[in-house]
Structure 1
Amino acid sequence: MSTPPSAAGAPQLQRRFGVGDAVVIGLGSMIGAGIFAAFAPAARAAGSGLLVGLAVAAVVAYCNATSSARLAARYPASGGTYVYGRERLGEFWGYLAGWGFVVGKTASCAAMALTVGAYAWPGQERPVAIAAVLALTAVNYVGIQKTVWLTRGVVTLVLAVLAAVVAASYTSGAADVSRLELGGDAGVGGVLEAAGLLFFAFAGYARIATLGEEVRDPRRTIPRAIPLALGITLSAYVAVAVAVLVVLGPGGLAGSTAPLTDTVRAAGVPELAPVVRAGAAVAALGSLLALILGISRTTLAMARDHHLPHALAAVHPRFHVPHRAELAVGAVVVALVAFADLRGAIGFSSFGVLAYYAIANAAAWTLTPAEGRPPRAVPAIGLAGCLLLALSLPLSSVISGTVVLAIGAAAFFVRRGVAGRA
């Protein structure tokens, strides 16, 4: 098994996380702003087939999570699928996974920061978004334990808000269980598009794997933490999906711009609407915190291998975090927030994440039984599901995602050619 390259005596990341901490990081990544917004576009795609789409997304997510967990136990280093692809499939595939993750998720960070601004102070999105990025970069910089404490608070608050929405919906006179009928004319294409949209709303379990170098007893902790976090998140998504459907119905949900806020109003408890908005802002903040954390660790791993500037591989001697990588990620996100409008132009992020997990499943397929290989069906279904969902995305997302991956691949081969001539 490869170990992260480092200079002798250089500061290293420390193993501080137990199962509970890792689950909290996973929940902070998955139970984010997506749960407040993902159901409306999914309903527009699938109508009453929304719940079927959620089930399809859950199956693919389970396979991806299982493959990632087995690989993370085998390769407990920072970088996630970047490391697994490199070790099992070759340098190029690991690089491509890392490239797709870093570029796509950096754009997602900017979009999530703008989401925080939109919920917290409408009309002042950019200043609030920049302040949020700077504050969360500072939290990550001063140590991973501070990040866990903040994430724990975020997750607790968001789950409390979601529980209030579900309780209000199920006890409402507006609730009508006949709206859960799974029929309709969405067709297979609509259901798959809904599955793709919903998949990304709870695909943050990779964040646990990217922290492999900071988890105690990773061979036991990570395989426990990933399915636990995914199971809790899926339960929350099912409960909320049913709640909004029985109150708003597929048509009402499809036409909503703020589904959970509209749900509590329709349920007769409009006083909960400001609470839901606050919960969405906090959830977006938690997602942003976890995104910055995950990107900086993948950046660290790629910098160690000189696929990114090697200076970014530094680890802070006191805080034991990849401080230069974190500052670099924060700076890029601030620049994107200040000068670009990415909320409608990050389709390549979705495509890149599916490519990332496709490589993870392909890597898991190569594991032997002695290395903890999951049942063959798991990586096979995961790989096929990722490819199917990627191709079911809107054409603009497929094109932009393909272009971004092609640019990364070209950069890899140009760099290798230059190195070969040196």
Structure 2
Amino acid sequence: MATAASSSPQASRPKAQIGLISCVAFGVGTTVGGGVFTLSGTAINIAGSGAVLSYIIAGLVMALCALSFIVVSTRAKDGESGYGPVGDILSPFWRFVVMWAFYLNGATIIAYLVDSFGDYLGEYFLPAIGTLTLALVATVVVTALNLGPTALVAKAETWIVGIKLALLVLFAVWGITELKPAELERPLPEGTGGIFSAAALLFTAYTGFNVITNMAGSVKNPRKTVPRAILLTLLVSGVIYLGTVLAMTASGITAFSATGVSQAAEIVMGSWGGPLVAFAACLSTLSGANANVLGASEIMLRMVARGDVPPALGRQTNHNHPYVSVLLLGVITVVLVFLNDTTFVVSIANVAAILAMIIVSVAAAVLGFRKWPGKGARLPLGPVIPILAVLAAASQLVSLAPAALITGFLLTGLGGALYLARHNQRGGAGDRADANRQIDDLNTPLMRAAKTRRAGRTAGAHRFPSRPAGS
């Protein structure tokens, strides 16, 4: 993959402040959560030892889509999200559909993360309290965190990501050393088809990198930093997933519960392993839910700034917390938690993510046909890789349950109808101006959290020149 040369930035425009480490930390922190602590057990139940192949297939499909995201997002203007160029390449409507689909993806992922938190906390630490109650408490905690001091949350998030990765690596290495060839040779529970069904379910396990796309226009040297951050996020997450599944396979368990990783740890590492991994799971799922609230709120603010959704959704407190968006995510999470069907919720998240991936890959293919105009990353073979990404992403839809497909398409279509209705109305200039000002100042909750993570540097708002709403 080559990157087009860029000219020197104008002296009047200060450089964005978010660096590679912050991007990767957010990407990995958002990605490695329910995708390993909840979905790994489900994947093994469906595909057996073939779950390793399921994670690889899902990762390869996502890697193809990620290349499309890279060539599109690196063409974002200063202060613009990485989805912005879709509006220039295709149309503003399709840019909105991508953003709306990822908002849906984030909202549904929050629900299955707090569900997973309730499962692990209830199973290993608070058995007297029901998992539903614990999931609802987690929803309240995450909602309250996102109405409070972002800097404190960001500092805690850095430690949480480090702890959970360290414990998962310990479990993976320990388990792989115990792995016997016979465990990999057992019959697959649902045959070869189970591998592909599990791969479709695991698609959302890799979608955390889109938080990097959210802030692509506010990243230091984005044409180098964004591609590296996205690919590093996928690589680190993939290695963690594969190591975890192999360690779980080494346990010899063939049917995992919702707390499958801890189940396996008790056998592989001893009785102390289960609670230790459960502790990591509680930290990971809670921090993952928090990161998804940050990412989804960022998308909502940018949709408000463009006038794509009702401006009331962008209303903020005096301390610049988008309380309406955060509370809306809390309500959505509560509704989905009461459904008590994690697989259905994850499948809806997958439908939304796949639709977004297809649209972005189409935009990348258009750039390829046009010989990669503008400043930004380029791919070899012209539009071939983005076209393969479209086909690979679309192929995942056929393995999802019809009810989830219908629900996902209806919710995405609802967003399209909302967009068309909004652009036939006027009003809300004040809320749009507030959202634009917050984005221009790199003062959204996500941006404040990202800047807080910059090691050894002082966080602060650096203002870009004002730009019209909808840029």
| TM-score with structure 1 setting the length | 0.84
Residue 177 of structure 1 contacts residue 246 of structure 1 at CA under 8 Å; is this kept in 2? Answer: no
Q: From 178, 201, 218, give the equivalent of 2:222.
A: 218
Q: After superposition, give the CA deviation of every residue in 1:77-113 in whole Å (9 maximum; x if it has no partner).
A: 44443x2332211122112112222233223223323
Residue 18 of structure 1 contacts residue 221 of structure 1 at CA under 8 Å; is this kept in 2? Answer: yes
Residue 129 of structure 1 aligns with which residue? 138
Q: How does 1:12-411 map to 2 (within 5 A)?
A: 15-76=16-77, 77-81=79-83, 83-120=84-121, 121=126, 122-123=129-130, 124-138=133-147, 142-143=149-150, 146-172=152-178, 175-181=179-185, 184=188, 186-248=190-252, 252-267=253-268, 269-310=270-311, 323-324=320-321, 326-338=322-334, 341-344=338-341, 345-346=344-345, 347-367=347-367, 368-371=371-374, 372-375=377-380, 376-411=383-418
CA distance in 1, matches of 2:170, 2:388: 36
1:315 Cα deviation from its structure 2 partner? 8.5
Structure 2 spans left out of the alignment, 5+ residues: 1-12, 427-471
Aligned residue pairs total 394
Q: After superposition, give the CA deviation of every residue in 1:372-408 in whole Å (9 maximum; x if it has no partner).
A: 3323332122211111112211222111112112222
Residue 75 of structure 1 contacts residue 84 of structure 1 at CA under 8 Å; is this kept in 2? Answer: yes
Larger displacement relative to structure 2 (355-364 or 112-121): 112-121
Residue 85 of structure 1 contacts residue 360 of structure 1 at CA under 8 Å; is this kept in 2? Answer: yes
CA spacing shift, 1:146–1:229, aligned 2, 3 Å: farther
1:135 Cα deviation from its structure 2 partner? 3.7
Residue 174 of structure 2 contacts residue 268 of structure 2 at CA under 8 Å; is this kept in 1? Answer: yes
CA spacing shift, 1:240–1:333, aligned 2, 3 Å: same
1:204 Cα deviation from its structure 2 partner? 0.6
Q: What amino acid maps onto 2:141 in structure 1?
A: A
SS at match of 2:208: coil
CA spacing shift, 1:225–1:246, aligned 2, 3 Å: same
Residue 52 of structure 1 contacts residue 182 of structure 1 at CA under 8 Å; is this kept in 2? Answer: no
SS at match of 2:258: coil
SS at match of 2:309: coil
CA spacing shift, 1:13–1:108, aligned 2, 3 Å: farther
1:308 Cα deviation from its structure 2 partner? 1.4
Q: What amino acid maps onto 2:379 in structure 1?
A: P
Q: After superposition, give the CA deviation of every residue in 1:29-64 in whole Å (9 maximum; x if it has no partner).
A: 111122012122222332332222122111111112
SS at match of 2:207: coil
CA distance in 2, matches of 1:400, 1:177: 41
CA distance in 2, matches of 1:315, 1:364: 35
SS at match of 2:74: helix
SS at match of 1:203: helix
CA distance in 1, matches of 2:239, 2:415: 37
CA spacing shift, 1:412–1:308, aligned 2, 3 Å: closer
CA distance in 1, matches of 2:302, 2:188: 47
CA distance in 2, matches of 1:29, 1:394: 25
1:67 Cα deviation from its structure 2 partner? 1.5
CA distance in 1, matches of 2:105, 2:97: 12
Percent same amino acid among aligned pairs?
23
Q: After superposition, give the CA deviation of every residue in 1:345-389 in whole Å (9 maximum; x if it has no partner).
A: 523222101111111111111223344332333212221111111
CA spacing shift, 1:253–1:61, aligned 2, 3 Å: farther
Q: What amino acid maps onto 1:131 in structure 2?
A: V
1:239 Cα deviation from its structure 2 partner? 1.1
| Alpha-carbon RMSD | 2.8
CA spacing shift, 1:271–1:110, aligned 2, 3 Å: same
CA spacing shift, 1:13–1:119, aligned 2, 3 Å: farther
SS at match of 1:393: coil
1:198 Cα deviation from its structure 2 partner? 1.9
Residue 24 of structure 1 contacts residue 148 of structure 1 at CA under 8 Å; is this kept in 2? Answer: no
1:149 Cα deviation from its structure 2 partner? 2.6
CA distance in 2, matches of 1:71, 1:84: 6
Residue 448 of structure 2 aligns with which residue? none
